[in-house]
Structure formats: structure tokens, C-alpha cells
Amino acid sequence: MNIVERFLNYVKFDTQSSEDAETTPSTAKQMVFAKYLKNELEDVGLKDVELDEHGYLYATLPGNTDKKTPTVGFIAHMDTSPDASGEGVNPRIVEQYDGGDIVLNSEDGTVLSPTVFPELLAHKGENLIVTDGRTLLGADDKAGIAEIVQAMVYLMEHPEIEHGDIRVGFNPDEEIGMGAHKFDVEGFGCDWAYTMDGGDIGELEYECFNAAAAKITIKGKSVHTGYAKNKMVNAVRIATELQGLMPQDELPENTEGYEGFFHLLGMEGACEKATMSYLIRDHDRKKFEARKEQITQLVAALNEKYGAGTVTLELRDQYYNMREKVEPVMHVIDIAIKAMENTGVSPRIQAIRGGTDGAQLSFRGLPCPNIFAGGINFHGPFEFLPIPTMEKAMQVVVEICKITAQFND
């Protein structure tokens, strides 16, 4: 089975995770895919294949050298985003993309156009895997899984390539921020690892946001509007007041690069009660802490205005910028850079405007930067995957294993 066939087989599985669940995995259908992958890893010849009750799948490709070498790991997630349907994914291959519009669904007029998505043009002449315009594709992160599995198969088929022990880990629930929570870092037993969960070719990331979630509850007082003066407290209006106090130039739609933001993720309510949820993001730890203090002070000001207890704030840190954990072991990045260069890929080191399982794993003692998997326009029907990029990502995994076998601390 080649890498394309492997990927097309994986996306048949609906593995959408759910933010509303309290179980791990958050959806039973993720476990269906995990069991399938377990059988596949055993069939291709990997050892120590283990699937735990939470849907975390681990396996080993034993080393073929007598030298003492580091143990390196490769990680990808099995779930797809709750943002768009992952049921009945019906991909097709556009051969030798000509640089024009790609009609995904003629019935509803869904078109993947370089006018809207200019990144398409960088892949002119390549074979692309696209959706039928109804679902996401699932390259995030089934492309990463396919690349890792295919790389392990390649190494087994080429025993002349010297490598140490290699560990593979596939986890659920990355898309809802819970992918690393029950990952068995100690049992994984790696000196370092890489998530294969980035985007376009050459991406290498070891910086991400510091992230927090804020839940705000506003208690109102409903009174007949005809007699409301000096009595009514309109919770939903206070919610809009709070949003108006937020810095309007520090929203996701107004920021880029290393600029942080406050994102109003959701708001609902009526006069009696309103709730709001925010994402707080910044690459700089001091600025991140200042943002949390800023929203705390805004809530305090509203309580001073409308009465103590009117507005309550629940603030929870989600993850931190993994840079501080990767910088002390920069050989991990140097190896990835060399692997890309050896396979004809130009590395593009950039900061993630988001998070990654690797961030949480890095803070749990497993340095874990992120490498491109090839998918573009994640989480929706305009997602596409250039086949040559997926093949290059697989080659990079193989090359990292070769270089790591020669590493001397």
C-alpha cells in the first residue's frame, strides 16, 4: 500500500471530536479508527503495539544498530475538527493542477479558487487531494498518520538504513485541546519527539501561543420594562458592554505574526443571565499574563459599577509557549532542519498562531516541535493536500531517523 492509498483509506473514518463530552476519547468513533490502526501497525510489523482504554495508540520500530542512540518519537492525532463535518468524506485527486478554479461541488457552487486561496498556486502542476465540498478532508492530521506509518514501512523495507529505536504515538482529541492530557510520556520513553501536524511544505515550528480560556457569567435582574427604572439589570447588555471595553485592535481578525489577541468565542443570554467565553492568546509570557490581568480588571470594574457578584470570571490556563522548553535542546531543531535540507525541502521556521499537542508534551518533559504534514486550509471543505508534500514529509521522517542514529550528545 502506498502513502496515498493509506491516506485515502484513513479519511473514510469519521473521527470528529466533541467539545461537549467529558470522556476520553470524546467520541466513540475515534476508538473505531484507533482499533483499525492498531491492527494495521501490527500487520506492517511494528512491535509493542498498545492501545489503551482512552484511545492512545503506541508502537515501536526496534533499532537495527548496536550503537547507543537516542530514542526518537513521531506523533499525530486521530481526531478531526468539530468545525466541519467529517462524515462521508469523499476525496478526489486533481491531477497536475493547472492553476485555475477547482469545482468541488457543482450542485451548490462550491469552488476552490486561487483568487481566494492563493496558496494553491504554489502547487501548480502537482497532484492534489481535495474534498467534494461537503466535508473537511481530514489531512489534519490523517496525513501525519499516513506519513509516519509509511516511513516505518520504508525503514523496514530498507534495513541498510541504520536507526535506533523509534516510537510512534497516535492520540485522540487534539482538536479540542485534550490530546496530550493522557499521553503516557514516561511509557513512550523518548528522548525527544516530533508532531507531524503542520501545514504546507517546509514548516517547522517550536513556538506557539501561551493560551488561556475565560468563562464569564453575568447575573441580571429581570423587571417589567414599564417599571424597570433603577431596578432592571440587563445581563446581556452588560455582556455587550464588556465586549465593547475589549481592545478592538487586538482581535484575531486584526492581528498576525507574534501579535496576541482576545477572541470572543461565544456569547448567549437574556436579561436574567448571560455567559461569554473568551480565548486569550500571546506568544510573549509577560504579555500573556498582562492580558489575563486586563480581563480580570475589566470584570472588577463592572462589579464596582453594577454591584459585587454581578459578573464572575473563571480563568483557566490551557498551554504555554513550548519555545522555553525546546531552546535548551536546540539539536532537536537542528536535526529537523538538516533532514529537510537533505530531502530537498527548504525549512521555514515560524511561530504557530495556535497550539499543538507538542506544546503540552514539551512542558511534560518531552521536547516536541511540529513538522509539516502537508494539508492546507484545515477544518473546512476547502482543505486540500498536495501529494508531493505528503511524500516529502514521509522522507523527512526517514531522514530524521537516519540523522538521529548518528547523533552524539
Active site residue 101: no
What CA–CA distance (Å, rounded) separates 201 from 120?
12
Which part of the chain is CATH 3.40.630.10?
Answer: 3-208+322-405
| Three-state secondary structure call for residue 399 | helix
Prediction pTM value: 0.88
Contacts of 229 (CB under 8 A, 6+ apart): none
Q: How far apart are CA 26 and CA 255, in angstroms?
A: 31
Q: What is the pLDDT of residues 338-352, one digit of tens each?
A: 999 999 999 999 998
* Per-residue confidence band for 178, with pLDDT thresholds at 50, 70 and 90: confident
**Tell me: the pLDDT tens digits for 238-297?**
999 999 999 999 999 999 999 999 999 899 999 999 999 999 999 999 999 999 999 999
pLDDT tens digits along 37-80: 999 999 999 999 999 999 999 999 999 998 899 999 999 999 99
Predicted pLDDT of residue 409: 60
Question: What are the pLDDT digits (tens) for 103-159?
Answer: 999 999 999 999 999 999 999 999 999 999 999 999 999 999 999 999 999 999 999
Q: Is 256 a catalytic residue?
A: no
Catalytic, out of 147, 165, 173, 174:
174
Q: Where in the chain is the domain with CATH 3.30.70.360?
A: 210-319
CATH T-level topology, domain 3-208+322-405: Aminopeptidase (3.40.630)
Q: In what order do the strands lie in the sheet with 92-94?
A: 92-94, 128-130, 384-386
pLDDT number for residue 152: 98
Looking at 3.30.70.360, 3.90.1330.10, 3.40.190.10, 3.40.50.11900, the CATH number of the domain 210-319 comes to: 3.30.70.360
* Average pLDDT over all residues of the chain: 95
- Which listed residue (79, 165, 191, 205) is catalytic? 79
